[in-house]
Structure formats: C-alpha cells, structure tokens
Amino acid sequence: MANKNPKSKIQNLLLPWLDALAITAWGILMLRYWLTNKLNLLIHPNYFWLVIVTGISFIIIGFFKIQELWQRRRRNVTPNTQHISLFPPGWGSALLLTTAILGFIITPQVFASDKALQRGVTADLLGSTRVKPQAFRVTVRPEERSLVDWVRTINVYPEPDAYTGQKVKVQGFVIHPPDMGKEYLFLARFVLTCCAADAYPIGLPIKLEKNQERYSPDTWLEVEGQMVTESLADKKRQLTIAATSLKKIPQPENPYSY
C-alpha cells in the first residue's frame, strides 16, 4: 500500500541523504585534520593510520551511498526506511552531521597553562609520577635531553644532588603556579599517551636571575642554564633549572610530547 502521509514520504526521501552526508562529512573532516597537521593536537601519532583509513573508508561508503540514492532518485524510487528508535528518525545522523560541520568551523586548541593548573600544578615535579621511565641512556649529554627526558631521568634516579651543575637546554611553555615565588616560573609540556583526553602536564621549575624578564603564562621559551637544588614552597628539595638564558620561541607545530 502506498504511503499517503506527506510527512512520512519526505522523511523517507531525506533521511538516507542525511545518513550519506554525515558519513561523508566525517570522512572529509578526518582527512582534513591529518592534511592540516591538526591531528597531532587530538591523538598520538601511533593512531594516525587508523584515522586515515577510517576517513578514507567513510568517504568511499558515503560516495557509493550518494551514488545509489542519486540513481534511485532518477528512477523515482523511494527508499524504504524503517526506524525503530527512542529518538525521532534522523536524529542521530543530524547530530553527527552537525558535529562534523562544527569540526570544520572550530579549530582544535592546544592545552595550555589554564588546563595544567586545573590538573593540579604544584612546585613539585609536574606529572612526574605518570611519565613512564624508558631506556636509561647514560651516554646522552645532559644538554641534549628534552624536558620529558629530564623528568624520565629523574624518575629513574630521583636524587636531585646527582644532577647539580649539569647543563640544560629545554623548551616548553610558562606556568605560574600559585605556590611558587616570583623568582621562579614553571616550564611545562603536555604528554599524550593516547589522545587529548588523557593528556597530562610535566615540567621543571626555573629559577630566574635578577633582572630577568617575567614572562606571561603560555609563552613558549627555550631555556638554557644548569641544574641546582632548591627548597621551594613546600620546603622539599627540588631539582631546579638556574636559567642563564631565556629566549622566546614560536609554539612548535607539534606542541605535545610522547
């Protein structure tokens, strides 16, 4: 029996197109993030291939779906769509399509000092208990270690006096924890283990020399100096970088560490 309900007929015509457009839009969005180097703000590089394969698959599925619907339209055949759901027909596809459109409009933002403070920045080694120690390479020169390398090294052997006088050259963004004096700042980076949802900050305190500029939060710096042991806000002996040079640098293309 022919469907005489005009509203139902319109739904049968539009819902398959909505499904196809939602699938295609998500495929294009995934590849766009990859091609514009925004994907590294969202997930670990180890999972790039999964996003790329999924994006290509979605585009192929969407293309064949649109082609099929177009051929049916030319033959004036109405697709038979029966939805059994607690929500109105097309609600899920409309939500997916709207989310994809927002993804094209809104650019992913890099986590910064406000997020680090929300996750509990203190004068202690920021995030050090979560950084997994890796192969301990004693042959690496101290000044060649990154900020993450230093935290991992200290996790392996946490005695701060063992590093006193070693040269340091690291990069990160500025944080001003409320429990640190004005003669210090905190240099940090976020570490990704899987995706942005599980990113956590790590870093080290920086001791400023007299007359050194007081940098605002989220400023990216390249810091050179040497390791010293300081007693910070909680009176705990803490490995600290005594800065001899602080240079502003642009935010790296990939601001996260792994």
Model pLDDT, residue 111: 83
Model pLDDT, residue 123: 47
Model pLDDT, residue 233: 64
The whole-angstrom separation of Cα 188 and Cα 29 is: 30
Model pLDDT, residue 56: 96
Region for residue 165 given its phi and psi (left: phi exceeds 0; alpha: psi -120 to 50; beta: otherwise): left
Return residue ranges of the chain for CATH 2.40.50.140.
113-248
Contacts of 167 (CB under 8 A, 6+ apart): 141, 142, 143, 224, 225, 226
Model pLDDT, residue 223: 95
Token pair 């080694």 is at which residue?
125
Other Cβ atoms within 10 Å of 7 Cβ, number = 8
With a cut of 50, list the residues of the chain below it in pLDDT: 1-3, 10, 83-88, 123, 125-129, 133, 135-136
Find out whether 190 and 113 touch, Cβ atoms under 8 Å: no
Find out whether 66 and 20 touch, Cβ atoms under 8 Å: yes
Model pLDDT, residue 25: 94
31-48 pLDDT per residue, tens = 999 999 899 889 999 999
Model pLDDT, residue 127: 46
Model pLDDT, residue 249: 94
Model pLDDT, residue 107: 86
CATH topology classification for 113-248: OB fold (Dihydrolipoamide Acetyltransferase, E2P) (2.40.50)
Complete DSSP assignment for 209-225: PTT---PPTT-EEEEEE
149-171 pLDDT per residue, tens = 898 888 888 888 889 899 999 99
